[in-house]
Amino acid sequence: MTGARTDAVIIGAGHNSLACAVHLSAKGWRVHVLEQADTPGGAVKTCELTLAGYRHDWGAMNLSLFAGSRFFEKYGNDLKRLGLEFVPVSHPFASVFPDGKWCGISTDVAATRARIAAFSETDACAWDALGAAFPDRAERIFAVLSSPMGMRAFATLMAKQAWKHGTAETAELAGFLLSSPRDWLDRTFESEHVKAMLGAWGMHLDFAPDIAGGAVFPWLEAMAGQAFGMVLGKGGAETIVTAMRRLIEDRGGTVECGARVTRILHEQGRARGVELADGRQIGAKRAVIANVAPAALVRLIGGSGEIGYDRAMRGFRHAPGTMMIHLAMDDLPAWTAGPELRAFAYVHLAPSLDQMARTYQQARAGLLPEEPVIVCGQPTAVDPTRAPEGRHVLWLQLRMVPGRIRGDAAGRIPATDWDGAAVPFAERALDILERYAPGTRDRILGRRIVTPVELEADNPNLVGGDQICGSHHLSQHFLFRPVAGRADGSTPIRDLHHTGAAVWPGAGTGAGPGYMLGRKLAGD
């Protein structure tokens, strides 16, 4: 081994890598984080993508999971000292519908209940019951989502749940975790509007209405949105990345950008370091940590020597892609359904569970969806620092879209590559937005389309524009994320560890994979 040596070399500077590095450096490890892009953060970064002074979140916008994480509980004061600032959101999300109605979740419990009751008093009563049960159920579900997921750890966790809550309640919880969004929503509510408002959250995480295991996400976002609101980063989501980088460097660590790793060096079954595109080698005394997509990890090591592991990692399934449209605006949309919608951080344009299911299936089939689900982020409604005074940014996320295009479900876009399809597909999305907020196009000052191809080029973990680095369907979640027996980030090569959204507990800004691995390596 030639070149520099450090305790841990970490490949990739996404928020999970940085969380792991923060914890290890706090335990006295010397860490060196290598990022191929020019800036750290992965999908969590903020850029002036349209006009000067307009700050757009490249990918992730909602930082609620980070603010509520065990990592932030431990290191939040240090991060705030180094510049991290949050903006609280009291109106987290809403949905608009073709009939001119809308429904939304706010921290004002009475207001939220009244909106639901306008569609169904029966549903409002069901909502009351969910709210009353939320603290206990949330404690139990977060115990699962924030725990290591080895076989022994999982068995111990389930045994503790059964002992504390009884086998019947534990079985009911397990059934809920296995339910599809539609199954749970149909059992709980009668209004199709209310079901659609909540079901839209499944589309954020590869859970179309009929996919088993997706019920927890609509429930969690709805209940947590009412109980706690939402959290955005002041000035942009990159505030968490900037603060973590400063904390790592304050403790003697290094975060190096523009540094592409081409090979993980290992011999006699043990990882020794990495080789970079510029020919440098950096040795690792204690650990090499790779925050990469599963297939990429196999490529970097040239095969682990364990055929079954390599095959499973190469076969890891990615979710459909996402296309982003970033807009600089002279004003927020004038929502026909009501001016109150201008106060919400997210407005979903996803009118029914059936439409969401159809969109998902079209994207999975390689078709540009006839009516994409649109997540309209309005961050400047709560954080005016992201744009010049009186101006705004819109963050449009189109879910789902194919990474590779085989055709157009509407039969109107002939292009089968994103270079040719991006603009007409963006126009399709803006046409939909115009139906709910006429005149929005007239308010656009600048536009930047980011295709699945560009998302992957910027961050190879986002294969085909998959912003969650892998499907979370049950066969690839819990004990099976990324593959059976490796949910703890272990690999067949000693001292080589895997982290990031492809590893349990998966995607989101909660930094769970990185923090859990850091604690494991530090012996916590």
Domain range annotation of the chain: 5-45+59-85+236-315+469-522, 93-228, 320-458
Note whether 287 and 476 are within 8 A (CB).
Answer: no
- Name the CATH topology of 5-45+59-85+236-315+469-522: FAD/NAD(P)-binding domain (3.50.50)
User: Tokens 């689900």 map to which residue?
Assistant: 373
Which stretch of DSSP H or E encloses residue 453? helix 452-458
Helices 294-301, 307-314: axis angle to 10 degrees equals 130
Amino acid sitting at position 396:
L
**Confidence (pTM):** 0.95
Going edge to edge, which strands form the sheet with 373-377? 102-105, 93-96, 346-349, 373-377, 392-401, 321-329, 444-450
Distance separating alpha carbons of residues 467 and 323, to the nearest angstrom = 10
Main-chain phi, psi angles of 336, to 5 degrees = -60, -35
Mean pLDDT, consecutive 10-residue segments, the chain of 524 residues? 85 98 98 98 97 98 96 98 98 98 98 98 98 91 81 61 70 87 97 98 96 95 96 98 98 98 97 98 98 98 97 98 98 98 98 98 98 98 98 97 98 98 98 98 98 98 97 95 96 98 96 97 95
Other beta carbons within 10 angstroms of residue 394's beta carbon come to: 24
Main-chain phi, psi angles of 510, to 5 degrees = -75, -10
Indicate the CATH number for domain 320-458. Answer: 3.90.660
Q: What is the CA radius of gyration of the chain?
A: 22
Question: 3-state class of 376 per DSSP?
Answer: strand
